[in-house]
Amino acid sequence: MNENLSADRPTFVTHLECSMTGERYEADQLHNLSRVGRPLLVRYDLDGVGAAVSRDQLAARETDLWRWRELLPVRHTRDIVSLGEIETPLIPIAKSGGANVLVKDEGRLPTGSFKARGLVMAVAMAKELGVTRIAMPTNGNAGAALAAYATRCGIETIVFCPEDTPEINVREIQAQGARVWRVNGLIDDCGAIVGKGAAEGRWFDFSTLKEPYRIEGKKTMGLELAAQLGWRLPKAIFYPTGGGTGLIGMWKAFDELERLGWIGSERPRMYAVQASGCAPIVRAFEAGEEHAERWEDAHTVAAGIRVPRAVGDFLILRAVRESGGKALGVGDPAILAAVDDCARRDGLLLCPEGGATLAAYKQALRDGEVDEDEEVVLFNCATGLKYPMPEAPNWLDRHGAIDFDQL
């Protein structure tokens, strides 16, 4: 077993708090949303963390997700569930992006997406708190991660996904032990089914941000990024935003790192990237609103960010505004062109949601939002191997005359 998993786990969680009102909630108890229906945030004794581990000690550990154990909520080693959550690399894409553009390639994680970060933490905490049956709505990758981790630790799982969820995701969910149901609707329609069943006591609701711990897993993206860049942060981050857990988590991570004295006060401009066919955060940002109304008739090739309504909308918008960033919408043609450009010129196969961040970066460059000399990180949230690709129709008859010049 990896040293980070086998070592004793001092824990520094003090309590949970409502992200809107600040009301305190007891740790070590099962919670969904706060009393006002908003996400709960995990709070830590950061003075205790700083006394227990130094930045240099942490940097010397094996570079996986569990190296950050003092800033994570799992109290007991026996409750850790893992499939090998590595630190994901930063890949330069100088030809399709520019000399100062890096892609954090989350497709290297278990189940092929960044959903592994959030779900490994949420499932470990569900195990620790005695949950035996979980239900979740998904656009694909989150359901796959849930199925894998829950199956690994013996928790029963039921997953609901929109009927047009990519076929490979649906089959992956089922193959890894969950019961998966296609639903004639969007992800929030699936969420309504999950919520009704939870209200009847049939299962625990694992919808995005409706339990406190997925944020804690996702925040490791921000912790990793700071360590990888030598305890500094890039000038801008472009993040594919549906439910927005990762953007919220990174913003939380940066605050915790500063309070520990491990980074300074400078923050990246956070760009919440959405598809123009489903852009409730963009619309709310442009209107100066704190909350985002449901987006009707949502459609995009980037299924992972087709989220008509996000329960953490105000947290996404708050981080974007505080950082001096922006919410950006990009069309499907630009998304597909960016995926093609990055694959053909830099050899990195992005998922459509990752393509959206590259398309948004190019748009921001044209609009003067970013400069070419600024260091920028784009998040590719899943391996492009999970998504449909253009046909490759060339065929050769080995028995006939071969025109080698044509080859």
To which residue do tokens 């006591």 refer?
201
Residue 372 to residue 51: CA distance in whole angstroms: 40
- Residue 11 has a pLDDT of 81
Sign of CA dihedral 293, 163, 240, 125: positive
Chain segment 96-118, per-residue pLDDT in tens: 999 999 999 999 999 999 999 99
- Residue 6 has a pLDDT of 47
- Residue 1 has a pLDDT of 42
- Residue 269 has a pLDDT of 98
**How would you write the pLDDT of the chain (407 residues) with one tens digit per residue?**
454 554 455 689 999 999 999 999 999 999 999 999 999 999 999 999 999 999 999 989 999 999 999 999 999 889 999 999 999 999 999 999 999 999 999 999 999 999 999 999 999 999 999 999 999 999 999 999 999 999 999 999 999 999 999 899 999 999 999 999 999 999 999 999 999 999 999 999 999 999 999 999 999 999 999 999 999 999 999 999 999 999 999 999 999 999 999 999 999 999 999 999 999 999 999 999 999 999 999 999 999 999 999 999 999 999 999 999 999 999 999 999 999 999 999 999 999 999 999 999 999 999 999 999 999 999 999 999 999 888 999 999 999 999 999 89
Q: List helix spans (H) across 69-166.
A: 115-128, 141-152
| DSSP annotation of 248 | H
Quote the strand ranges of 166-286, DSSP E: 179-183, 204-205, 236-240, 269-275
To which residue do tokens 């988590």 refer?
249
- Residue 2 has a pLDDT of 53
Domains of the chain: 3-79 (no CATH), 90-112+215-384 (3.40.50.1100), 115-205 (3.40.50.1100)
- Residue 355 has a pLDDT of 98
- Residue 188 has a pLDDT of 92
Q: How many CB atoms lie within 10 A of CB 329?
A: 24
Chain segment 163-186, per-residue pLDDT in tens: 999 899 999 999 999 999 999 999
Measured distance between the N- and C-terminal CA atoms of the chain, rounded to whole angstroms: 50
Chain segment 248-273, per-residue pLDDT in tens: 999 999 999 999 999 999 999 999 99
Q: Residue 215: CB partners within 8 Å, gap ≥ 6?
A: 39, 41, 42, 118, 209, 245, 248, 249, 252
